[in-house]
Amino acid sequence: MTVVTKTHAVRNGVDTEQLFGTLDVIKAQPELAKFQFRVSNRWIDGSHNRSTIKDFYAAGGEDTTRSEAFVIDAGEPAILVGTDTGANPAEYLLHALAACLTTSIVYVAAARKVQLTSVESMLTGDMDVRGALGVDDEPRNGFERISVSFHVTGNAPEEKLREVVERAQKRSAVYDMVTNGVPVTVEVTTH
């Protein structure tokens, strides 16, 4: 009997063989890099609304590997006239940024043979709510600034860990969108 052992170079929980394989395929066939992500949302009551996230387009076709949808509720705290049915939209934006930077750090570290032991972050967003509440035109509606503080440890010198974070920041999809903005079109139907 012959036992064939396939070596999976899994580092930081990332299958680097699969990761490098994906990169090779996309280099060879750039048209497979076109992705479309989607969210459908439905108002429930007051500040309570719910998003459903499942299907997406990737690598030349509809991706149907997800067996179940993610269902995510939003809300507002009492001071913003809600009942805490979920984190609020601005907090979800901070979560998106934290998650994207963290995933980028983990993938970059895996590709560069850095074994991480922990990645923790704290994000803060400062907002003058006179903008969003329509009380004053002067303050902008969104955060004036976002501060991200990472604590990263692993089996590499400080300089290398810092390089991993810098590279992750340079490639993060959500960091790009939050810092540079994205063109958004809004269409409305009423019947």
Closer residue to a copy of itself, CB minimum distance, 2 or 43:
43
Minimum separation from the CB atom of position 5 to a copy of itself (A)? 21
Burial class (CB within 10 angstroms; exposed 0-12, middle 13-18, buried 19+) of 109: buried
In the bound state with a copy of itself, the residue whose beta carbon lies nearer, of 4 and 72, is: 72
Please say which residue, 46 or 113, places its beta carbon nearer to a copy of itself: 46
Comparison of 2 and 180: residue with beta carbon closer to a copy of itself:
180
Select from 35, 39, 73 the least CA-distant residue to 53. 39
Torsion of CA 86, 87, 88, 94, to 10 degrees: -150
Q: How far is the CB of 86 from a copy of itself (least distance, A)?
A: 6
Shortest distance (Å) from residue 97 CB to a copy of itself: 7
Instruction: Please state the separation of Cα 45 from the chain's center in Å.
Output: 27
Q: Tell me how far, at minimum, the Cβ of 4 lies from a copy of itself, in Å.
A: 23
Min dist CB 57 to a copy of itself, Å, is 9
Query: Rounded to whole angstroms, how far apart are CA atoms 37 and 51?
Result: 13
Q: How far is the CB of 152 from a copy of itself (least distance, A)?
A: 6
Q: How far apart are CA 122 and CA 95, in angstroms?
A: 10
Nearest C-alpha neighbor of 17 from the set 131, 103, 110: 110
For a copy of itself, the closer CB: 2 or 84: 84
Distance in angstroms (rounded) separating the CA atoms of residues 57 and 46: 32
The residue type at 114 = V
Q: Closer CB to a copy of itself, residue 3 or residue 61? A: 61
Phi, psi of 11, rounded to the nearest 5 degrees: -135, 135
